[in-house]
Amino acid sequence: MEEAYLVLEDGTVFNGKPLGKRGTVAGEVVFTTSMTGYQEILTDPSFAGQIVTMTYPLIGNYGINDEDTQSRRVWASGFVVREACPLPSNFRSKYTLEEFLHQWNVVGIEGVDTRELTRKLRTRGVMMGAISTELDPPSLLEWLSKQPRYDEQDFVRYVTTPQPFVWQAMGEEKYRLALLDFGVKYNIPRILSSLGCTTTIYPASTSAEEILANDYDGVIFSPGPGDPANLGYVIENIKELLDKKPILGICLGHQLLGWALGGKTFKLKFGHRGGNHPVKDLRTDKVYITSQNHGYAIDPASLVDSGALISHINLNDGTVEGIVHPDLRIISTQYHPEAAPGPQDNVYIFKEFLGLIEEGKENA
């Protein structure tokens, strides 16, 4: 039987068998507690540069379809599961998980004790790791030590759209929006389309001047991968857009807004990844279950003199999950209001953003 190995930078070794493409890959090893949505997770650009561990033990049981993909390709560097279902059963299924991973050249491993791996990452924190069907553990660990670290890389340039493209409104067009793509998931423009928005999606390096020249009703900063501290060129661009148009920031876009407002971010020990994170909206005292995928968070103390107000907090650890800036017409969330996967309880954030736009039009 073929063997595969997962090694962590601390020397821990997990044995398993190959899943998907044969080969050797490195990445930051993270875990997600989502029980479903593995197709959306694999195609989420925010997982670029990471080896994703699914904590739910059976993955692939409803197969892969053509509708649930969240971007133009798979971005995860590697995939770790306890058991991959070889015979999916669902009327929408067109491919198995194995076939999907082969199609996108993703190296995976199954048969891993994902409970033990998750405990390790929760205790030690996320760390670099590597999967291989070619190298033995000592050789793989040596190879891993020579790979670039996750925190040192700019993955946004890797995942952003190479050319602008337009997502048309469904039915009557009510608003025209610009979205800077740091790693957008398709469910964001899908939801906006259903709310009457035509969204033009731009490469991450697009200048503020070009965005403003087209006189959009509002601007959105998308989710994406990596450490926001590495994205100075984006932060400077965002500063030029402040107070020009209503702004919505999501996940990485939210963190970058924090930097543009004079704040800082810090790395979480093992991040928030999954579809079951409780978040409290401090403005209404309502609690929502949210979809999350991030390894960094805004330091609330760094925003004290920014004029921004903390609007949402995570009820598990108290970290910042949302900010608003009434004077600059900003709404920003650390979690994913578009879900995909996860609960769809938070679409109200998009409606709140469109309300900001409408309010601006009425006061013009």
Is 338 annotated in the active site?
yes
Question: Catalytic one among 197, 251, 294, 325?
Answer: 251
pLDDT grade, residue 359 (50/70/90)? confident
Q: What is the pLDDT of residue 152?
A: 95
- Which pLDDT score, from 0 to 100, does residue 47 have? 98
Each residue of 167-188: pLDDT tens digit? 999 999 999 999 999 999 999 9
Report, as an integer, the average pLDDT of 232-242: 97
Tokens of 199: 């969204």
**Number of domains the chain is built from:** 2
Over range 150-157, report the average pLDDT. Answer: 97
Provide the pLDDT for residue 360: 73
165/139 same-domain check: no
- The reply to whether 299 and 265 lie within a common domain is yes
Unique residue bearing structure tokens 């989710």: 223
The pLDDT of 187-196, averaged and rounded, is 98
Query: What value does the mean pLDDT of the chain take?
Result: 97
One domain for residues 174 and 144: no
**Is pLDDT at 204 greater than 70 in this prediction?**
yes
Give the pLDDT band of residue 223 (cuts 50, 70, 90): very high
| Crossing angle of the two packed helices 232-241 and 252-260, in degrees rounded to 10 | 70
Q: Which runs of E-coded beta strand occur in 213-281?
A: 218-221, 247-250, 265-281
- Using the Cα atoms of residue 264, residue 270, residue 275 and residue 279 in order, give the sign of their dihedral: negative
Residues of the chain with pLDDT > 90: what percent?
Answer: 98
CATH number at residue 105: 3.50.30.20
Residue-range definition of the domain harbouring residue 92: 4-152
pLDDT value for 22: 97
| 253 and 124 assigned to the same domain | no
CA distance 330 to 327: 8
pLDDT of residue 362: 72
pLDDT at position 196: 98
Exactly one of 277, 312, 325, 336 is catalytic; which is it?
336
248/172 same-domain check: yes
- For residue 354, the domain's CATH number is 3.40.50.880
Q: Do residue 228 and residue 185 come from a single domain?
A: yes
Q: For residue 56, give every residue at least 6 positions away whose Cβ sits within 8 Å of its Cβ, in sequence order, or none.
A: 33, 34, 35, 36
Proportion of the chain above pLDDT 70, given as a percent? 99
Element (H, E) at 208: helix 208-213
Distance CA 174, CA 197 (A): 6
Model pLDDT, residue 80: 98
Asked if residue 246 has a cis previous peptide bond (ω within 30° of 0), the answer is no
CB atoms within 10 A of CB 105: 12
pLDDT of residue 358: 92
Is the domain of 300 the same as that of 347?
A: yes
What are the CA-CA distances from residue 162 to residues 11, 50, 72, 180 (Å)? 38, 22, 11, 12
Q: Is the dihedral of CA 110, 78, 118, 275 positive or negative?
A: negative
Residue 363 pLDDT greater than 90, yes or no: no
The confidence score (pLDDT) of residue 361 equals 73
pLDDT digit string (tens) for 96-119? 999 999 999 999 999 999 999 999
Q: Reduced to 3 states, what is the DSSP secondary structure of residue 97? A: helix
Q: HSE (CB half, 13 Å, CA atoms) of 55? A: 17
pLDDT, position 35? 95
From 136, 152, 168, the end of a domain falls on 152
Task: Tell me the mean pLDDT in the region 245-255.
Answer: 98
Catalytic residue among 9, 98, 321, 338: 338
159: confidence class by pLDDT, cuts 50, 70, 90: very high
Tell me what pLDDT residue 364 has: 60
- Domain-ending residue, one of 98, 132, 152: 152
312 is catalytic: no
Same domain, yes or no: 123 and 234: no
Q: Are residues 241 and 331 in the same domain?
A: yes
In this predicted structure, what is the pLDDT of residue 65? 97
Task: Identify whether 251 is a catalytic site residue.
Answer: yes
Give the residue from 96, 126, 152 where a domain finishes: 152
